[in-house]
Structure 1
Amino acid sequence: MTVIGFLSTAPVVEGSMAGEVAKAVDALEEFDVTYETGPMGTTIEAESTEELFAAARAAHEAIDADRVSTVLKIDDKRESDRPAREKVDAVVEELGRPAKHRE
């Protein structure tokens, strides 16, 4: 089974959050997950909800701030092992062209 999650975690601070968010992303390296970081959050793929929750918790706890905001959205399609990339590919197929993205 492939569980896909979208994780957004950040300190509640004024100014740049990049340093603390980098700590959260780095924490994911300790887990058997794949991930892709974007401007609003990180897509994580894991073999189980337990692994996904553990990785998300570690990312949340890696941030050193008095207040941390974390949102985790989970797609647990139990009858399928399709990776997140296939979801994107399906949209591209419907579009009939690559989706635009910033380089």
Structure 2
Amino acid sequence: MTTVAFLSVAPVTEDSMASEVAKAVAALDDFDVAYETTPMGTTIEADDAATVFAAAQAAHDAVDGDRVSTFLKVDDKRTAVTTAESKVDRVEEELGHEARSNRD
């Protein structure tokens, strides 16, 4: 996979956004993408940017509301194959430990 993106889609509301965010994430299942949802958004991997854009559009359209906020950041690496996992692995190599901490 050569395109890695970060997507955040949410209705502008003071109520819980979970059900609408779930609709956005479910929309990704209709596309040939791998994804992982985090508390702040969803990392998407695809073979090309066009697939990412189409999936992001579907996620945006899946959310109900008078106002929907969508953020999409795309890394379209055209000369090499990469994955989100390999990007994190490289950072962890530099750190010498996992790129996370426990607040406990």
Q: CA deviation at 1:101?
A: 4.9
Q: 1:101 to 1:29 in 2, by over 3 A?
A: farther
Alignment-derived partner of residue 29 in structure 2: 29
Q: CA deviation at 1:63?
A: 0.2
Aligned-pair RMSD on alpha carbons? 1.1
* 3-state SS in 2 of match to 1:81: coil
* 3-state SS in 2 of match to 1:70: strand
Unaligned runs of 5+ in 2: none
Runs of 4 or more above 6 Å deviation: none
Please show how residues 22-101 of structure 1 align to structure 2 within 5 Å.
22-101=22-101
Q: How many residues matched?
A: 102
TM-score under structure 2 length normalisation: 0.93
Alignment-derived partner of residue 7 in structure 2: 7
Q: CA deviation at 1:99?
A: 2.1
* 3-state SS in 2 of match to 1:100: coil
CA distance in 2 between partners of 1:49 and 1:96 (Å): 32
CA distance in 1 between partners of 2:65 and 2:101 (Å): 32
CA distance in 2 between partners of 1:58 and 1:101 (Å): 34
* 3-state SS in 1 of match to 2:45: strand
CA distance in 1 between partners of 2:58 and 2:45 (Å): 15
CA distance in 2 between partners of 1:101 and 1:54 (Å): 34
CA distance in 2 between partners of 1:101 and 1:16 (Å): 27
What's the CA shift string for 1:71-94, capped at 9, x where partnerless? Answer: 100001111111110000001111
TM-score under structure 1 length normalisation: 0.94
* 3-state SS in 2 of match to 1:73: strand
Question: Match for 1:24: what amino acid?
Answer: A
Unaligned runs of 5+ in 1: none
* 3-state SS in 1 of match to 2:8: strand
